[in-house]
Structure 1
Amino acid sequence: MTTVCLVGDPEVTLQYELLSRETARDALATYDIAEPFANSLAVETVSLGAAVSLLNDLNWYCARFVDEALVREPSVSREEWLSRDLATRIRDGAIRPAETDQRLKIYAVDEEDRLVDPVFAVREQGDSPTHQRADGGETVVVRVTEDEFEG
């Protein structure tokens, strides 16, 4: 199963914003909703194509209420997330999954389960870069496109 996770803008309550609007509520109605991080909404879809399609259906809401739209596709990585743009490029065949593990955006997860302090890193020869945090807490790794990395 492919997971879609929307991380809300800190200024809004994401689940309220999405579920209080009929079109978004209808798009999410067939899914079991989880909250893996603070102010987030995650659902399991049947494929990468379905995940990208759901994000496209929710695009208006993503533009207004979402800080990050993430996709975790087990055929690419079981632990790391993909940015929405990278997931779309993989689905469209513009990039092969094996070519996606170099550019990373790494978040720290704070004591309130919020994704904070993103840093960009380049993976070299299979290493696993980490977020440099004094407390050594949990991190979330997101694979990003070259444009997202440089932008």
Structure 2
Amino acid sequence: MTRVCLIGEAGSDLQYELLSRETAREALATYDLERPFENSLALRTVSVGAAVSLLNDLNWYCTRFVDEAFVQEPSISDDEWLSRALATQLRNGEVDADETGEFCKIYGLERVAPAVDDEVDTPDTAAPSGDDESTTASEGGENEATAASSGAGGGPTYRLVEPLYVRRTDGDLPEYDLRDVAETLVVRLTETEYTP
């Protein structure tokens, strides 16, 4: 299933801003909500088209309270995300799936103390399913960052820090070197979003 992750702007409480407003709460009511990163909300949809449609429905809130909106499509990558603009281009047939990987930004993932309640649970939304299990980094396998972003409860909380804009060459991405972090998160971008 396609995943959507919203990262709140600094100084805002994204969960409160979205779930305290009736229109946004109704748009999110049918989804199991997760909080994979600090000040974030994530959910699963049936397709890239459904993900883009939901983001369009939430656009008023996204422009005011959301710093970044990511979409993850397993048929493209299990561990890399698409920016909202790239997901929209993909949905509209403006770009092929195999043409999405050239321009990227890499976020460092910094551990922070777990929040008192890392799960989102409101009267109008179901609690996260918790079906995914966290795993540690292993060569060729799911890394800790991917596991953290899968919505598994009880683990550490992560904060996205300092994105590094990179260009994939010969199938490889440069190493993240802006600060010392154990894990990273890759987001694929449109060419116009890429600003090295």
TM-score by length of 1: 0.96
How much does 1:144 deviate? 0.3
| Distance in structure 1 (CA, Å) of the matches to 2:171 and 2:6 | 28
Q: Which residue of 1 aligns with 2:151?
A: none
Return the match for 1:123 from 160, 164, 168.
168
Aligned length: 151
Equivalent-residue separation in structure 1 for 2:94 and 2:181 (angstroms): 36
Structure 2 distance, partners of 1:69, 1:100, is 16
Q: Which has the larger radius of gyration?
A: 2
The one-letter amino acid paired with 1:33 is L
Higher helix proportion (structure 1 or 2):
1
**How far has the Cα of 1:87 moved from its partner?**
0.1
Separation in structure 1 between the aligned mates of residue 13 and residue 28 of structure 2, nearest angstrom? 16
Structure 2 residues not aligned, in runs of 5+: 113-157
Q: 1:10 to 1:44 in 2, by over 3 A?
A: same
Aligned to 2:155: none
The superposition leaves residues 15-67 of structure 1 with CA deviations (integer Å, 9 ceiling, x where unpaired) of 01000000000000000000111000000000110000000000000000000
Opposite residue 176 of structure 2, the aligned amino acid is H
Give me the whole-angstrom Cα distance separating, in 1, the residues matched to 2:181 and 2:33: 29
User: Aligned AA for 1:28?
Assistant: L
Letter in 2 for 1:97: A
* Conservation of the 8 A alpha-carbon contact between 2:164 and 2:178: no
In structure 1, stretches of 5+ residues that fail to align are: none
**Equivalent residue number for residue 64 of structure 1:** 64
- Equivalent in the alignment of 1:93: 93
The ranges of structure 1 where at least 4 consecutive aligned residues each deviate by more than 2 angstroms after the TM superposition are 133-136
Q: Which residue matches 2:47?
A: 47
Offset, 1:138: 0.8
User: Who is 1:3 aligned against?
Assistant: 3
Between the aligned partners of 1:43 and 1:134, the Cα distance in structure 2 is 29
1:141 has 2:186 as partner: yes
Measured after TM superposition, the shift of residue 134 of structure 1 is 4.9
Mean CA deviation greater in 129-138 or 69-78: 129-138
Q: Which has the higher contact order (CA 8 A, sep 6+)?
A: 2
For 2:42, the aligned partner's letter is A
Q: Are 2:63 and 1:77 equivalent residues in the alignment? A: no
Q: Does 1:105 align with 2:105?
A: yes
SS of residue paired to 1:56? helix
Whether the aligned pair in 2 keeps the contact of 1:130 and 1:139 (CA below 8 Å) is no
